[in-house]
A = this chain, B = another copy of it.
Amino acid sequence: MNETPLPIREIAPVEFRRVWPIFQAAVAGGDVFVQTTETTFEEAQHLWTAPPTRAFVVEGDGAVVGSYMIRPNQPGRGDHVANAGYVVAPEARNRGIARALCEHSLETAVRAGFTAMQFNFVVATNESAVHLWTSCGFEIVGCLPGAFRHAKLGFVDVLIMYRRLGASRT
């Protein structure tokens, strides 16, 4: 579908309450996120918005339908590599929102001076995510055997994905 792109904007930590329902939906399946339904609002808010982490949302019809967070993946001598995480509301899937969030996060990363982005924990059985991140320029640079306890499949592998951010993107 070729819809008009929805606007994406940065939020303050207090606005995480509008992301919380889709965060909860994202962990409920036990098939994608390392966090579980036992994660508290405060823990999720900290993960998603505590500086230096920054959070962004995309809204449709007045509701948050997707969000991403971006942060340095490491402190100190590793803080040139960004890390990001994404959630999309169940009712808003298959509309290109995850791709739009990823592309926006890559632009945010470049503007913030990061020279690469790393995903630490891509569940290998989440094929649509692996395909999407690959199409966004990420490569699989590592595999952690059995590092995720999938709600339905038991122990499954986890992929580490990485993308350099060329200065030419700015």
Contacts and interface: CB of A to CB of B under 8 A. Distances in A.
Interface of A: 27, 30, 33-36, 38-39, 74-78, 80-81, 115-116, 118, 120-121, 141-151, 158, 160, 162, 164
A78 B121 contact: yes
Copies in the complex: 2
Contacts of A158: 78
Contacts of A33: 76-77
A157 to B, nearest CB: 10
A77 B34 contact: yes
B34 A74 contact: yes
A151 to B, nearest CB: 8
B145 A141 contact: yes
Contacts of A75: 34-36, 39
A144 B115 contact: no
Contacts of A145: 116, 141, 162, 164
B160 A142 contact: yes
A82 to B, nearest CB: 11
A34 B78 contact: yes
Contacts of A77: 30, 33-36, 148-151
Contacts of A143: 141-142
23 contacts: A33-B77, A34-B74, A34-B75, A34-B76, A34-B77, A35-B75, A36-B75, A39-B75, A39-B76, A74-B147, A77-B149, A78-B147, A78-B149, A80-B149, A81-B144, A116-B144, A116-B145, A116-B146, A118-B147, A142-B143, A144-B162, A145-B164, A146-B164
